[in-house]
Amino acid sequence: MSIPHFRSADNPVSAHSRCSATPAKVTLPHLQEKKRQGQPITALTAYDYATARIVDESGIDLILVGDSLAMVVMGHDSTLAVTVDEMLHHTRAVRRAVRRAIVVADMPYGSYHSTVADGVSNAVRFVKEAGAEAVKIEGGRNRLELVERLVDAEIPVIGHLGLTPQSVHRMGGYSVQGKTLRGMNELMRDSVALEHAGATAIVLEGMPREVAQQITAEISIPTIGIGAGPDCDGQILVFHDLVNLSFSKPAKFVRQFGDAASLFRSAIEGYRDEVVRRTYPAELESYHLPAEERLALEERTLEQEAERSGTKLALIR
Ligand code: KIV
């Protein structure tokens, strides 16, 4: 991946990173610049320290601590159950791991659905207590006041339109949205309204390629697609889908770029077999007493054996 050499006034990162092809820290203005330059934005979800480190060190621009963790980490059948405290817990773990990518926290269902004030105070927690650099909320024109208030509170907001998993009951399942001209117009109006309200970027999920392509061309903030075709400014996937850890039939748009399930299974089976055969741990994988202590132990064992056989002899006689 290469990021253009921005003029220093546009780029708040260090002098070192201004000179290198890859910035030391990706920022939200970098994403905007990537859209302007037609360079794809890469994004992935992560929910824990280990995977977030790998994702970050692999050069992904944006890491979303998605509420999809309710499903892929916690085993729920929708995203609705995860709480603000649980999302904070995972966002903190990701924050500790990430040096370069932008960390975005997903606002869970219920955390911004009652009042705007509630939404703002929950979003503040993600920034203050977990180190998120932006929050993501689902919805369009019904969320404009919240977007404006978050921007006022210096919290960058990423919108999320189309197949919004928190609306699963209203949608009657997880189905592609915007398949009619009317639906497409609604999504377009939502996108434009989110941009005007101050959103930094918009995730476009589960919609026809043509719709995402038109939205991407119409608005000046980046679009990040998932199941929305290749014309978005960037792409995001759920980490567990990418590496075959989701235990469900992948959606049409998912490409499994690796098979962590097989890798983990063969490692775990190898471990189990070697423990059962007593070939793990081996001599080289064991700690030892220092030489002197070993000698002392051997002497003590010999003494104990001699003592035991002396006692036995005495008893026999
Ligand atoms: O929660 C999530 O993982 C998401 C992505 C699918 C964009 O919202």
Residue range 262-316, pLDDT digits in tens: 999 999 999 999 999 999 999 999 999 999 999 999 999 999 999 998 876 677 7
Q: What is the pLDDT of residue 313?
A: 66
Q: Tell me which of 195, 205, 285, 299 is the catalytic residue.
A: 205
Q: If you take atom 1 of ligand 1, which residue's CA is the nearest one?
A: 66
The proportion of the chain whose per-residue pLDDT surpasses 90, expressed as a percent, equals: 90
Give the C-alpha separation, 124 to 7, whole Å: 32
Which of 172, 183, 87 shows the shortest CA–CA distance to 140? 183
Q: What is the pLDDT of residue 23?
A: 78
236, 239, 254: which to mutate for ligand 1, most atoms within 8 A of CB? Answer: 236
pLDDT exceeds 60 at position 21? no
Q: What is the pLDDT of residues 207-260, one digit of tens each?
A: 999 999 999 999 999 999 999 999 999 999 999 999 999 999 999 999 999 999
Lowest average pLDDT, out of 2-6, 112-116, 215-219, goes to: 2-6
Give the C-alpha separation, 175 to 184, whole Å: 14
Within 10 angstroms of residue 282's Cβ, the number of other Cβ atoms is: 9
Phi, psi of 203 (to 5 degrees): -80, 130
Distance 295 CA to ligand 1 centre (A): 61
Burial readout 46-62 (b: 16 or more C-beta within 10 A, e: otherwise): bbbbebbbebbeeebbb
Q: What is the pLDDT of residues 147-164, one digit of tens each?
A: 999 999 999 999 999 999
Distance 52 CA to ligand 1 centre (A): 15
- What 8-state DSSP symbol labels residue 70? H
Task: Tell me which residues have their CB closer than 6 angstroms to ligand 1.
Answer: 45, 64, 66-68, 106, 203, 205, 226, 236, 238
Q: Which ligand 1 atom is nearest residue 224's CA?
A: 7
Distance 92 CA to ligand 1 centre (A): 18
Mean pLDDT over 131-142 rounds to: 98
48, 55, 65, 67: which to mutate for ligand 1, most atoms within 8 A of CB? Answer: 67
Per domain, the residue ranges of the chain are: 8-255, 259-284, 287-317
Distance 201 CA to ligand 1 centre (A): 14
Look at the domain 8-255 and name its fold. Answer: TIM Barrel (3.20.20)
pLDDT exceeds 80 at position 3? no
205 is catalytic: yes
Distance 262 CA to ligand 1 centre (A): 24
What tokens were used for 224? 């990040």
Distance 67 CA to ligand 1 centre (A): 6
Considering only residues 19 and 66, tell me which one the structure prediction assigns the higher pLDDT: 66
Q: What is the pLDDT of residue 4?
A: 36
Helix or strand or coil: residue 298? helix
pLDDT exceeds 50 at position 1? no
Q: Which ligand 1 atom is nearest residue 203's CA?
A: 7
Mean pLDDT over 17-42 rounds to: 85
> In the beta sheet, which residues pair with residue 223?
202
Mean pLDDT over 192-220 rounds to: 98
Q: If you take atom 3 of ligand 1, which residue's CA is the nearest one?
A: 66
Report the relative pairing of strands 41-45 and 102-106 from DSSP bridges. unpaired
Q: If you take atom 2 of ligand 1, which residue's CA is the nearest one?
A: 66
Q: Which ligand 1 atom is nearest residue 165's CA?
A: 8
Q: If you take atom 4 of ligand 1, which residue's CA is the nearest one?
A: 66
Q: What is the pLDDT of residue 317?
A: 65
Q: What is the pLDDT of residue 310?
A: 83
Which of 23, 3, 158 shows the shortest CA–CA distance to 99? 23
Q: What is the pLDDT of residue 200?
A: 98
User: CB of 197 within 8 A of CB of 148?
Assistant: yes
